[in-house]
Structure 1
Amino acid sequence: MSKPRPFRISVPETGLDKLAAQLSAAELPDAPLCAGSPEEWSHGTSLQKLKSLVDAWRDGSPMDKDGKVSGKGGGQGVKTWWRSIEDRLNRYPHFKVEIEEFDLHFIYVKSQHAGAIPLVFSHGWPGSFYEAWELLPYLVEKDEKTGMSFDVVVPSLPGYAWSNPGSLPHGWNATESARRIHKLMTQVLGYKKFFAHGGDWGTRITRLLANYPECKIYHTNFAPPTNMPWYTVPAVALHTRGYSDLFQRVLGRLYSPFEVLGMTRGLAYLATGSGYVALQSTKPATLGYALYNNPVGILAYLLEKFHAWTDPRSTAFGDKSEPSATDMSDETILVNTTIYALTNTIHTSLMLYFSDERSWYPPFDEYRPARSKPYGHSAFAYELARGPRPFISRLALNLVWYKAEDTGGHFAGW
């Protein structure tokens, strides 16, 4: 195992030249796939939104969460814009370290306050280490109420961003990633105890980290309702047969509107939003190769997920006349997408679905060491699939803290 090496994000000029040329040459249809559709996003990614983002990407002028042109590249092209984003991303220390013959990229920001708690943040798909970016300044500073602060470690999951081996070994799964992240925290950084947080695939990796004795407390923002009680089955059957109003009334007697919203979104996800899972968990190479070296294709594919899994009032998709509910902006989408495009990791990012998709429903014994660990959960209103609070205890979790957020969605860090 090597020592951490300082790393600075600096994409070669040739890579940016290629991206600029691809965006300039990009062609999209003149009209939507289905003209006259009553709902713009009903067939997938909105052509209008995609075109506007491609234009902003090419020109270097996406809007940030405050409605201002992002970075310093406004109108000067994607190369100038990305260099300003690199300057921002390099504000915090980046490193690479070899662990079990794998080069892992991570951000490591230490608090200036005594007694800071080590915290590892694990992202998911189609996110990146950038999901933690806006949180870092809040976490490293001492909280006025609790007096706590954190040393924050944000790895790029293997196969993502600059944790990029070009290909992953056969059988690579979340357990392989969790083991390396555990070694990063304990053997590389030398922590004898740490806390962990994750969302999406980071939820699974965080639960696996909690199996290790050094992980004392863990928290997630995603807990899919994979073990529903029997008495909800009739109501769900009503919804799947088209009786959504009756579904709402039946479950409304048992659960709050917030909880019913989570279940309704989960059923909609299963019905019309989960097709990508079937493809990525069976033939990831087909999709990965089709999107490889295709930045506009990557954007078109990821954009639909960002729209479907985000608070509809967000800056990127909501009514601009109303205050933003979340910080999902055009800039957020394009920074994250550019990371995929410039690191050539869209195909490797899909591999967890092939090797690990069934692991969302494992025997409880797989998490046995974690079952007694204190667990906290933040439930965001527009999560892609979310059950009521009582469902969480059915997942063999020692829930000691829970908070419902009336804004936000799947990408909680943003």
Structure 2
Amino acid sequence: MSGPEHGAVDVGVGPRTEVDDPLVEVADLRVGFGGTTVLDGVDAAIDRGTFVGLVGPNGAGKTTLLRTLNGTLTPSSGAVTIDGERIHDLSSKAASRLVATVPQDTTVAFEFDVRTVVEMGRNPHRSRFGGWSEADTEAVARAFEWTDTRQFSDRGISTLSGGERQRVLLARALAQESPLLLLDEPTASLDINHQVRTLELVRELVARGKTAIAAIHDLNLAAQYCDELLLLSGGEVAAVGPPESVLTEDALGAAFDANAVVSRHPVTGSVYVTALPEGRRSDVGAESGRVHVVGGGGTAARYLYVLDAAGFEVSAGALNEGDTDAEAARSLALDLVTVDPFAGVDAAAREAVETRVAAADCVLVADVEVGTGNLPNLRAAANADSVVLVEERPFAERNYVGPEARRVYEELRARARVVDPSSVPAAVAAAVEESAPDGSTPSQSRPT
């Protein structure tokens, strides 16, 4: 896909190509070390103004591809063309006017202040005897502004946090004013807030006209932020295209040798990948165990998809008709307890929920908001023998009832496995297995 050209910079290296042509073209690229082939016949074309994520298992060749794109590594065969120039035919300075790289390691060898680090990005544009120009000053000022790092300019680089250093190195790369930005695992070792902030910033830069290629290990972050993904496996391109066409269960199984379920994130709507516990296959039958899910407002939709794909017999409710979770359960043909839109859980619905809770090997309670209408769901779950409780937000932020709901929740929490969303499949599998300590099939140990 082609993006806006208003943020493009004339790098002054040879003739420019037409703006409709891909910015990056990789043809039959082969790279090896000591007789070992790391990249084997890689072909790719990357349009201007796009954010492309390199994904794949460890050792697939993601970092090697990035280092070949910026000219650091020389291929044994094939070619890399950026903006019409064969990158390996250029001097280091000329290549750096086309490609800027943000490394995975954010440490800087010497104790420079932040302004000096960012100003280093202008080196490719300066001659040995040339002075500091107005263009240099403006480029550094833009880099500070776009990355919101001006407040660090007088501080030593080593005094910053990992996330702050990441932004400073990104500012240095932006000061190069190259059309292509490469990032090697930009979210590695960062907490979730800095991960999101970093990728939001890259996406903003792409909206300004940059082209970005990033190696990203987190498939869900890659799916949420990237326009396209390039999946590497065994040194070859296994798939390329929009996230929904690349992150398929078949492709992930072949590339990662993993059993994964692909669904849609209930909030962002992006492709969402969940790895299933070892031994849980989508073709196992309902005898694998029964799970009742308490959710609402889209908090449980992804778990319904994952647990159904893992082979559990899943029920859900009580949920209002039209609720996102109810629609997800209905699309999967799950056992569903519903009440009318905007109605509370009445006596009949509560009895239906209690029946399913009693029959379940495990009850999963999502990070749901609790009001008087759905408090009976929480009360029913509190009577379950085995509970997995998902906590993303403090209960105080989700409690619209008051002390009574807090009492029920605290009673439930004291008996539950409390997990974050990524741990749900493994926690449910463990809970179900423990429900049948005599080795019998889990569901056989429950009343029907």
* Same topology, TM > 0.5: no
Output the TM-score relative to the length of structure 1.
0.30
Higher relative contact order (CA 8 A, sep 6+): 1
- Higher relative helix content: 1
Q: TM-score, normalised on structure 2? A: 0.28
Which structure has the bigger radius of gyration?
A: 2
